[in-house]
Amino acid sequence: MQKSEQESIIRWDREERVAHLWTAYELEARRWKRLGYPVRVYSRTADGTPRTWAAEVPLDAIKWRQLRDGQVARRRGHRKGRLLGVPHDQVVVSAS
């Protein structure tokens, strides 16, 4: 599967307060499972191998992050980074 085919989709319903998740990327499905999301196989290839996965979660599980100058701003967290001289509001580039 090519990178362009490894997409994930989030669709939400404000009335039901539910987010519908869908992915063709197995690692994303595994991450959702680790987060406790109820992941199910959505479709399979002709030989039975899982091809896409889906889940439904409360809308509050989707978190939106603030941008600063077009980059995701790092959240304030534990003091570990500051003890190493990393400023607490450092801007980081998300890996996407």
State pLDDT tens for residues 12-67. 977 889 999 999 999 999 999 999 999 999 999 999 999 999 999 998 888 888 88
Say whether both 31 and 54 belong to one domain. Answer: yes
- CA trace torsion 43, 33, 65, 82 (10° rounding): -150
Counting the structural domains of the chain, the total is: 2
Task: Identify the domain containing residue 90 by its residue range.
Answer: 65-96
Say whether both 12 and 50 belong to one domain. Answer: yes
- Global pTM reads 0.67
For residues 73 and 91, is the Cβ–Cβ distance under 8 A?
A: yes
Say whether both 96 and 71 belong to one domain. Answer: yes
Say whether both 89 and 49 belong to one domain. Answer: no
Instruction: Report which DSSP code applies to 76.
Output: P
Dist. CA 94–CA 42, nearest whole Å: 28
